Chain A
Amino acid sequence: MSLYQTEGIVLSQTPLGENDKIITLLSPEEGLVRAVVKGARKPKSRLSAVTQPFTRASFQLSRGKSLDRVIQVSLKTSHPGILSDYAKVVCASYVSELVAELSPEKQQNREQFWFFSSVLDHLEQREDPWVVVKWTEVGLLLRAGLLPSFDECALCGGEIVQPAYFSAEAGGAVCGKCGQAKDAADWAGVQAGNLALGEQTVRAIPVSPGTLKTLEILRDSGNQCPNLTAKGQVRQEVNDVLQQCVDHALGKRLKSSLLVGSILVSPHRE
């Protein structure tokens, strides 16, 4: 039995048989790790409470053929500030699902780990989880090389002139000239949310200058979650743009995105 020690954040858990569960961990040295927690669903289990989602801890694991096994856990934080707020739990579930999708299994990824670790800390501390979730979406896509461009036209490479559009499938922001061109050879402009690209028709939505500015700030803020908020149209557009980006990058819609969407529509209030 080969033992190893690693920091980790629990992203999700699923029951296994009658007594056990499987957890998915994000760790700096091993990337995504799936591990069995034996006896976790028995009432007196010592490992059950310290392997709940969003927990950051130091884990001792033993390597197995397909699944590793959790031997010992030394708690760093269970993020009680997340667990005591419904909106924050839903947001934390969503960013956990997203980071699990965008992190390779069994591959060292320190930067991803520390970024995600600070995501949960920010989520715990900030009053409005909206900016934390948006910053996380942009940050994770950027690190994965899947973030579309916000500051130059994805079609002509030119400056963004209004009325601007956004289409993840077209590669990002689309300038007003390209978006409205009717008779150009390659595209026929945006009509009713559709942008014709040669043979193809892709989805495109109108975006205001404030939305593109907000997206740039989120992208350029690196490891520090910016202090910004948005309401009304900008908030809605940023949500729509990033939903498109995530859907397009993953090729599917995340299960938790519906619930998180309903929570992030309007500013968070207690």
Chain B
Amino acid sequence: MPVFPDAIQSLVDELRKLPGIGPKSAQRLAFHLIVAGKPAINKLISSLEEARDRVGYCSVCGNLTESDPCPICQDSKRDRTLICVVGYPKDVLAIERAGGYRGLYHVLHGYIEPLKGVGPEDLRTKELLARLGPGSPVKEVILATNPDVDGETTALYLAKVLKPLEVRVTRLARGLPFGADLDYADEVTLARSLEGRREVT
């Protein structure tokens, strides 16, 4: 029993493939676009095409970019002795938004996930090691992977392979979220915060 014309159904099917879009949202988006008409749809088509044709990965850091190397890698004012390793391009955005960091990045494009069969060689780990080869200006690698099992596992692996190199390896502090109540914190987070305590100067 076909409810929609085929063209709308296939639009709904395509939209449903997007992350966070369920069947209801896909329908709502499809109807919205149809009602919005030609100019709106053409605008969307051209920005999709532009994104497809102009955006790629930076050959140095792996971030999304329109120029290669990306603006961050090209910026001579950034500190070339620092590399911050993150899982995904969105994490670069998050750290840039926070401000205060002036070093470079390295995007792994994923985490080690044994249960999905994703190992170190499926990530951009070789490219990271290449950036730390002889003559490299890098003095410190900051592991800014997620504070969950996959992120921690990836950080443990990287710490292990970076150990023989003459580079300082640091990890983002883990602990209580700012603005949280101490007695509301869970046991694991609290234990880790204690472990990562710092002297007050």
Q: A258 to B119, Cβ gap below 8 A? A: yes
B115 lies within 8 A of chain A by Cβ: yes
Is A142 an interface position by the 8 A CB rule? no
- Asked if A251 is at the interface of the complex by the 8 Å CB criterion, the answer is no
Write the chain B residue with the least CB distance to A54. B149
**Contacting pair B187 A75 (CB below 8 A):** yes
Measured CA separation A86–B114 after assembly (Å)? 11
Residue of B nearest to A85 (CB): B156
Interface presence of B134 (CB below 8 A) = no
Closest partner residue, chain B, to A43 (CB atom): B177
B136-165 vs A, CB cutoff 8 Å, 1 = contact: the mask equals: 000000000000110011001100100000
Number of interface residues of B (CB under 8 A): 23
Selected from B117, B156, B185, the residue in CB contact (under 8 A) with A259 is B117
Question: Is A94's beta carbon under 8 Å from chain B?
Answer: yes
B98 contacts chain A at the CB level, 8 A cutoff: no
**Which range contains the number of A residues in contact with the other chain?**
35 or more
Residues of chain B with a CB closer than 8 A to A48's CB = 148, 186
Distance in Å from the Cβ of B82 to the closest Cβ of chain A? Answer: 24
Query: Smallest CB–CB gap between B62 and chain A, Å?
Result: 22
Contacting residues, chain A, for B148 (C-beta < 8 A): 48, 52
Neighbour of A86 across the interface among B153, B180, B188, B189, CB < 8 A: B153
Distance A50 CA – B152 CA, assembled complex (angstroms): 15
Q: Is B184 an interface residue (CB 8 A)?
A: yes
Chain A residue at smallest Cβ distance from B190: A49
Q: Within 8 Å CB of B43, what residues of A?
A: none
**Cβ-based interface call for B116 (8 A):** yes
Given the contacts A12-B115, A52-B188, A90 and B20 also touching, CB distance less than 8 Å: no
Within 8 Å CB of A18, what residues of B?
20
Residues of B within 8 Å of A108, CB to CB, are none
A46–B149 Cα gap in the complex (Å)? 16
Q: How far is the CA of A269 from the CA of B185 in the complex (A)?
A: 35
Please, which residues of chain B bring their CB within 8 A of the CB of A90?
114, 153
Contacting B117 at CB < 8 Å: which of A13, A52, A255? Answer: A255
Please name the residue on chain B nearest to A96 by beta carbon.
B115
**A84 vs B189: C-alpha distance in the bound complex, in angstroms?**
15
Name which residue of chain B comes closest to A97, CB basis: B115
- For residue A149, CB closer than 8 A to chain B, the reply is no
Q: Separation in Å of the A130 CB from the closest CB of chain B?
A: 16
Chain A: minimal CB distance from B126 (Å): 15
Cβ proximity bits B96-124 to A, threshold 8 Å, 1 near / 0 not: 00000000000000001011110100000
Which residue from chain B places its CB closest to the CB of A89 in the assembled complex? B153
CB distance from B18 to the nearest CB of A (A): 13
Quick one: given A258-B117, A260-B114, are A49 and B177 in contact (CB under 8 Å)? Answer: no
Residues of chain A in range 11-31 having any CB-CB distance to chain B below 8 Å: 12-13, 17-18
Could you say which residues of chain A place their CB within 8 Å of the CB of B20? 17-18
Q: Closest residue to B155 on the A side, CB-wise? A: A86
Take A83-B152, A259-B119 as given contacts and tell me if A89 and B188 are in contact as well, using a CB distance cutoff of 8 Å: no
Quick one: which of A43, A50, A89, A94 has the most chain B CB within 10 A? Answer: A89
Assuming A44-B177, A46-B184, A52-B188, is B156 touching A84 (CB within 8 A)? yes
Decide if A50 touches B114 in the complex (CB within 8 Å).
no
* Given A80-B191, A97-B114, A259-B119, 10 additional A-B pairs, CB 8 A: A13-B149, A43-B177, A46-B186, A47-B186, A50-B188, A52-B148, A52-B149, A78-B187, A84-B156, A255-B115
7 contacts between A and B (CB under 8 A): A49-B186, A49-B188, A75-B188, A86-B153, A86-B157, A97-B115, A259-B114
Interface residues of B (CB under 8 A from A): 20, 112, 114-117, 119, 148-149, 152-153, 156-157, 160, 177, 180, 184-189, 191
Closest 9 CB pairs of A and B: A93-B114, A255-B117, A49-B188, A86-B156, A256-B114, A75-B187, A89-B153, A259-B119, A49-B189
